[in-house]
Chains A and B, each alone.
Chain A
Amino acid sequence: DTGVSQNPRHKITKRGQNVTFRCDPISEHNRLYWYRQTLGQGPEFLTYFQNEAQLEKSRLLSDRFSAERPKGSFSTLEIQRTEQGDSAMYLCASRAASTEAFFGQGTRLTVV
């Protein structure tokens, strides 16, 4: 197992466009988290899945954001009608009940 994988690593998009990111967690991990990290800040929690159920969403997750984990394996995070303020690093982490969180390398989004 090579760890948590995120794709793409970098995404540049024009304001108003939709973008989708993918996260492939460590295979035996049933818990999956999305975070957002802006320059000079720590990661901020966005949403949490246990298997395919989305159990918690942060107030940071506006209506333009949606996340899915359809079969309890990989997850996608979609941002609709992107804004410049959405520019950030989007991090995915996974864990099992008996482990701590393992993070992917993130997807860096730049909205121009």
Chain B
Amino acid sequence: GDSVTQMEGPVTLSEEAFLTINCTYTATGYPSLFWYVQYPGEGLQLLLKATKADDKGSNKGFEATYRKETTSFHLEKGSVQVSDSAVYFCALRNSNSGYALNFGKGTSLLVTP
């Protein structure tokens, strides 16, 4: 079945450092790919998405490119802020799964001043 694998955390970075969180997937067909973020005490929020190969999703300085050849959707940000501290979830949605989201385990990010 479909699955998502994320790099394990926690990831600790200094403010203004470059961020990469790796995400790879296994799926049949042509899934849509997502990054969701969960800030402390809050619900899951959609950060960005890409619906087809070579699409780049971007939001709030974060970006990720849908790479079908490597089945990857790595999240990047050029300069992180303390306010980016959160748990980040990579997810996919496939038409063969009722359009439910299939999540990775999440990667915790802590940004220190």
Which A residues form the contact surface with B (CB < 8 A)? 4, 31, 33, 35, 40-45, 48, 55-56, 91, 93, 100-106
Contacts and interface: CB of A to CB of B under 8 A. Distances in A.
Contacts of B36: 103
What is the predominant secondary structure among interface residues of chain B facing chain A?
A: strand
Interface in B43-92: 43-46, 49, 89, 91
Interface residues of B, number: 21
A42 B89 contact: yes
25 contacts: A4-B43, A31-B99, A33-B100, A33-B101, A41-B105, A41-B106, A42-B89, A42-B91, A42-B106, A43-B44, A43-B89, A44-B103, A45-B97, A48-B99, A55-B98, A56-B97, A91-B43, A93-B101, A100-B46, A101-B46, A101-B101, A103-B36, A103-B43, A104-B43, A105-B42
B49 A48 contact: no
B101 A43 contact: yes
Contacts of B34: 100
Ranked 8 nearest A-B pairs via Cβ:
A42-B103, A56-B98, A103-B44, A45-B100, A105-B43, A103-B43, A48-B98, A42-B105
Contacts of A55: 98
